[in-house]
Structure 1
C-alpha cells in the first residue's frame, strides 16, 4: 500500500507542477501554453466547460487538416471578444482560411457571422490527441476559471493564505496524534511544498497580469526627423528629445502596490522609477526619448506592479537587472518558508528521506522483477 501511496503522491505533485508551469507560460506568452482551459460547452461531448486539454503548438509552416481541433483567437466579428476558442476545422486551407465549428453548435462560426474565415496566423495550437482522441483533464480548469473571475478581489490572496494555513494546521494536529511508525507524514510534506509553490505562482501570475511591457521602435538620424510606421516616437534628429504618455498606474485592490518602471535603453528616461500606490490612487506616467546616437532601435519599457513583499529599493535594483528576475524573487518570498519547512523541520526531513528511500527500493524491485 505504501508504494501505491508514494506513486499517487508523485503523480499528484507532477500534475500540480505541470499545471502551474502551463499557467505561468500562458501568462507570459498571453496565449495557451501546454494546457488550455475550456470555457464553454460548444465542443460537448468531446469536453465540457471546466475541463483542461493538452495543446500541441502550431506554427505558420504546419499543415492543418479537416477534423483538427484548433485553438485560435479571431480578430474579426463578435467571436473576437471571446478570447481563445477551441473548435474543429470543417473545411478550408491556410491560403483561404479555415471554416470552424463547435461539435455542439448547429452552425459554423462563419455561418452565423461571428467570424470571418480563421487565418492560420490566428491559430496557436491544436488539441493534442492519442489515437485521434483529445487528451482531456476533466474539471481541473475550474480553479483557473474561478481565479480569473476573482483575481481583482481584495479577499483572494488573504483567503488563499488562510485556507493553506487551515489545511496545514489540521494535518499537523492529525499527524501529531499518531505515534506509530505508520505515520503518514509524507502527506503533510507534500502539502507544505505544493502549498508554497501554489501561493508563489498565484502571487507571481497576479503581478504579471497587472504589469505592462511597452515595445518601442524608433530611429535616430543625423540630419532629419519624421514619422515611422508602427512607431509612436518616429525618427528623431540627433540631439532631439520627445516626451510622450506612458501608462496610468492605478490600484483598485485593497493591498498597496509598488510600481517599478525600467528599461535597458539609456536613451529613454521615465517620469517615475518607483512609486508606492495605495488603494484608489491613479498616477499618470510619461517617458522621454533623447536622440543621442544614430541608428535604429527596438526597446522595451517594463512597467511592473509588485506586492510590497520586499523594500522598493531592492525591487528596483532587481528590476533594473531584469523584470523577470524581480518578478521571480518577489513571487518566491511568501512561498519559500512553506517549501523549505519540510527540509528544515527535523521530524519531517527524516520522514521524507525515509519514505523516498523506501519508495525507491520498491520501485527498483518492481522494475527488476
Structure 2
C-alpha cells in the first residue's frame, strides 16, 4: 500500500509539473506546448470538451501524414477567428496545403467554412499516440476551462498559488502521528520545494501572458523616404521623427501593478519606461523613432507587467539587463520561502542532509561495484 501511495504521488507531481510547463510554454510561444485542453466536441469520440491531450510539437520540415490529428491556427480565411483547432488531416500535402475535418463533423473545414487549405506553417503539433490512439487525459482540463472565464483578472492565478502555500503550511502545523511519519523521509521536503516552485511558475506564467513584445523593422536613409511592407515606421530620412502608439496597459485587478518598457534600439524613445498602474487605471504608451544613423534596423520593444513583489526601481534595473532575468527573480520571490524552508528548520535541515548523505553513499557503492 505504501508503494502504491508513492507511485500515485509521483504521478500526481508529474502531471502538475507537466501542466505548469505547458501553461508557461504556451504563454511564451503563443501556441500549444506539451499539453492542451480540448474546448469542443468536434473530435468526438476520440476526445471530448474538458479532456487534456498530449501534443507532439513539430518542426516546419516534419512530414505530416493522412490521419494525423493536428493542432493549427489559420492565419487567413473564415477559420482565422476561431483560434487553435485540433482536427484530423484527411488529404493534402505540405506544398498544396492540408484538408482537415473534425471526426464528429459531416464536412471538412474547407467545405463547411469555404476556407483555404491549411498551410504547414500554421500547424504547431499533432496528437501524440500510443499505437493508433491519441493519449487523452479525461476531464482533467475542466479546471483550466473554468479559470479561462476569469483570466482577465491578473490576480486569479497568484491567489490560487497563495492558497496552495496556505494548505502546505496548515499541513506542516497540524500535529499528530501522520505528520511524524511523513518526516521520516524526504516527502515533506519535496512537498515544500514543489509547492514553492509551483507558486513561482504560476506567478511567472501570469506575468508572461500579461506582457507584450513588439518587433519593429525599419530603415534609415540619407535621402529617401517610403513605406516598408509590414513596418509601422517604414523608411525614414536622416533627421526624421515618427511617433507611433505602442500598447494600452490596464489593471483590472485590485492591487497596483508595475509596468516596465525596454528596447534595444537607441534611436527609439519611449513615452514610459517605468510606471505604476493602479486599480482600474489604463495608460496609453507610445514610442518615437528619431532617424540618426543610416541602415536597416530590427528592433524589439518589450512591455513587461510585474507584480509589486520588489521595488519598482529594482525591477526596472533588472529588466534593462534582461527581461527574462527580471521575470525569473520576481517570480522566485513568492515561492522562495517554501523552497528554502526545509533548510531553515533545524530538524528538517538535519534530516534532509542525512538523507542526501545516504543517497550519496549508495550511489558511490553502485559506481564502485
TM over 0.5: yes
In the other structure, the counterpart of 2:164 is 164
Aligned in 2, Cα 1:127/1:161: closer, same or farther, shift over 3 Å? closer
Query: Which secondary structure state, in structure 1, belongs to the residue aligned with residue 217 of structure 2?
Result: strand
Deviations 1:265-298 (A, max 9, x none): 1111101111111012122221111222211010
Q: 1:330: Cα distance to partner? A: 1.1
In the other structure, the counterpart of 1:53 is 53
Counterpart contact for 2:258–2:276, Cα < 8 Å: yes
CA distance in 2, matches of 1:328, 1:179: 36
CA distance in 2, matches of 1:87, 1:364: 51
Counterpart contact for 1:74–1:115, Cα < 8 Å: no
In the other structure, the counterpart of 1:216 is 216
Q: Which moved more, 1:212-221 or 1:280-289?
A: 280-289
Q: 1:353: Cα distance to partner? A: 5.0
C-alpha RMSD of matched pairs (Å)? 2.8
Aligned in 2, Cα 1:228/1:116: closer, same or farther, shift over 3 Å? closer
Counterpart contact for 2:101–2:109, Cα < 8 Å: yes
In the other structure, the counterpart of 2:181 is 182
Q: 1:5: Cα distance to partner? A: 4.1
Counterpart contact for 1:128–1:135, Cα < 8 Å: yes
Counterpart contact for 1:220–1:293, Cα < 8 Å: yes
Query: Which secondary structure state, in structure 2, belongs to the residue aligned with residue 266 of structure 1?
Result: coil
Q: 1:360: Cα distance to partner? A: 9.1
Aligned: 1:121 with 2:124: no
CA distance in 2, matches of 1:51, 1:202: 21
TM-score (normalizing by structure 2) = 0.89
Counterpart contact for 1:56–1:128, Cα < 8 Å: yes
TM-score (normalizing by structure 1) = 0.89
In the other structure, the counterpart of 2:232 is 232
Q: Count residues with an aligned counterpart.
A: 365
In the other structure, the counterpart of 2:316 is 316
Aligned in 2, Cα 1:353/1:79: closer, same or farther, shift over 3 Å? farther
CA distance in 2, matches of 1:350, 1:115: 65
Deviations 1:8-29 (A, max 9, x none): 4344333322322222111100
In the other structure, the counterpart of 1:296 is 296
5 Å-filtered alignment, 1:77-156, equals 77-113=77-113, 115-153=115-153, 156=156
In the other structure, the counterpart of 2:264 is 264
In the other structure, the counterpart of 2:273 is 273
Aligned in 2, Cα 1:104/1:346: closer, same or farther, shift over 3 Å? farther
Q: 1:158: Cα distance to partner? A: 6.1
Counterpart contact for 1:251–1:277, Cα < 8 Å: yes
Deviations 1:158-200 (A, max 9, x none): 64245224422431244x3128963456443333222222222
In structure 1, stretches of 5+ residues that fail to align are none
Query: Which secondary structure state, in structure 2, belongs to the residue aligned with residue 304 of structure 1?
Result: strand
